[in-house]
Amino acid sequence: MCGICGWIDFDRDLGGPDGRRELANMTATMANRGPDDEGTWIGGPAALGHRRLAIIDIQGGRQPMTLQEDGRPDLVLVYTGETYNYRELRQQLAGLGHRFDTSSDTEVVLHAHREWGQCDPRNAVRELNGMFAYALWDTAKRELLLVRDRLGIKPLYYYPTEHGVLFGSEPKAILANSLAESAMDADGLRRALCSIPDPDGTVLHGMHEVRPGHIVRVTRGGIRQVSYWHLTDTGHTDDVPATIRRVRELLEDTIQRQLVADVPLCTLLSGGLDSSAMTALAARFSNERIRSFAVDFLGYTDNFIPSQWYPTPDGPYVKEVAKFVGTEHKDITLSAQELMDPNVQAATLHARDLPSTFGNLDSSLYLLFRAIRQHSTVALSGEGADELFGGYTYSHDPAYVQRDTFPWNEGSEDIAQRTLEPSLVEKLDLPGYLDEQYRRALAEVPSLTGPASADPHECRMREVCYLFLTRYLPSMLDRKDRMSMASGLEVRVPYCDHRLVEYVFGTPWAHKTFDGREKSLLRAATADLIPLSVVQRVKSGYPAIQDATYDKLLRTRFTALLNDPNAAVAPLLSVDRSRALLDAADNLRRVENILTLQDFLTDYNVSLTI
């Protein structure tokens, strides 16, 4: 895993002092993502930068990497992520006459584009199984390709300029170039205040994300984005037993592929079905004893208060699974003071590059990953299983399922409505914005075919499953990537293997809930691997701290913000309405969004053009 960045300007030679300085500044921002090595390449209108976290072929995988064969012009690649089937592709390409100088997956990607991507780059990308984001410069065609994996596991941003484009793994890389402006308009503020990601834009004006499963092609003639993968209706015909067997087969193959690393590896263990099954399979196929890590809070288990979203604490289940599977386990225990530490808050914001709607969940994840990095360089995570197999209450409670909006949206815009100036609330029209995003997402959903298409509930659940995979999961993956890479930790997500996603997405909802519970297919496919208590455990979310000390610290900080007329967010806020909200204890945690917006506007010197 690494950090990439670059600059294309078709009207300049970037090899001069100014171009080199700009590229050096951009590349330096990626140091946390790639602490092991740094490299740059400049040729005419193209400048590419790379920071490396060495995982595979530590000595030979340096980047940027170039390819020149038979006198043909160079292909130049900066790449981040992992291609899990690179060994098979390498063997296949060698049989076609390709010769390799390293044992890295990066070189395999280069040769794949030489062999299969010359006429249409989509043909090369479709051969790759993995999580990746990369930029490929063709010196003959004078064309840049920006490529992102199918589910959007790895981030990639771009910023069109008058004569080309800037790009980077994170916004900070782009903002380090003097051509980029740090500005937020009304659309950006809408995105910042709502929990629904817009696949076409970011909170910063003029900056975009490469959409999952897409390629951005940049030439002198302009910028064009094309799709190479999307979810489709597969016409699923397997019965439930056959489906369970196939899920198990895919999981076993996926986890074996993702155990490949030349550095220490571990798993993230919560004691839930997803992480426990993954950890058990990893332990079965690993040549070494698997390490596992879990997050905990001081006094959390002893003073736990159950709720709809957190019915049971993780701790007892984590210990049971670790003993049952035989992992070398360690708990990372955090306090309220650590979560509210200004240095931790600043580091979390710097990692995110965006105002966050996750609050203390981001801070705890950052601290967890920072601690894990002292022991391991790669971690396997259960992220994606809930979205894929139907693990959330939102997918099972009719009150959520039948909403004419995103099922999980419980008034993400409500806090903004109750804290902002009334005139701004009217101008932003956040309910209208969310409805527009919802209608756009529904228009993408592939229609059911076969007998299931006659069942209205199956049709609705197809929509719900699509929404979770394309509008909810990206936020989870982005959060995981940012918090882990801030400490140079690579987190892999086996449940996001595109073969597994394609297969399970195509199964009828009746299959996914055949035993009357959430995640029926995953439970049946892995029940033999884990303790019965975990098999029977009801879904419990990623833990949020329950210590009253945290709420006290949060209240103090928000009060100080309201008392500061010079705060960056002050022109947006109604102080009286915000104070009234602060007095409503049940809404206290939700003001974290406003606090992170304040920090973002200040630290990134963002100009508001509302």
C-alpha 352/C-alpha 428 separation (Å) is: 24
Q: Which 8-state DSSP code applies to residue 154?
A: S
459 is catalytic: no
**Long-range contacts from 99-106, C-beta under 8 angstroms, 24+ separation:** 101/60, 102/57, 102/60, 102/61, 103/56, 103/57, 103/60, 104/56, 104/57, 104/60, 104/61, 104/65, 105/56, 105/61, 105/130, 106/61, 106/63, 106/65, 106/77, 106/79
Q: Which whole-number Å values give the CA distances from 549 to 287, 305, 335, 556, in the listed order?
A: 44, 15, 9, 11
Question: Which one-letter amino acid corresponds to residue 128?
Answer: L
Parallel, antiparallel, or unpaired for β 265-268 and 291-297?
Answer: parallel
Name which of 503, 531, 2, 540 is nearest 254 in CA terms. Answer: 503
Name which of 392, 388, 383 is nearest 499 in CA terms. Answer: 388
> Contact, 593 vs 354, CB < 8 A?
no
**Burial of 571: CB neighbours in 10 Å, binned 0-12, 13-18, 19+:** exposed
Half-sphere exposure for 392 (CA within 13 Å, toward CB): 23
Q: Which whole-number Å values give the CA distances from 588 to 191, 322, 562, in the listed order?
A: 21, 35, 14
End-to-end CA distance of the chain: 37
507, two tokens = 């199964």
Parallel, antiparallel, or unpaired for β 130-138 and 75-83?
Answer: antiparallel
**DSSP code per residue over 88-130:** HHHHHHHHTT---SS--HHHHHHHHHHHHSSS-HHHHHTT--E
Positions marked active-site: 2
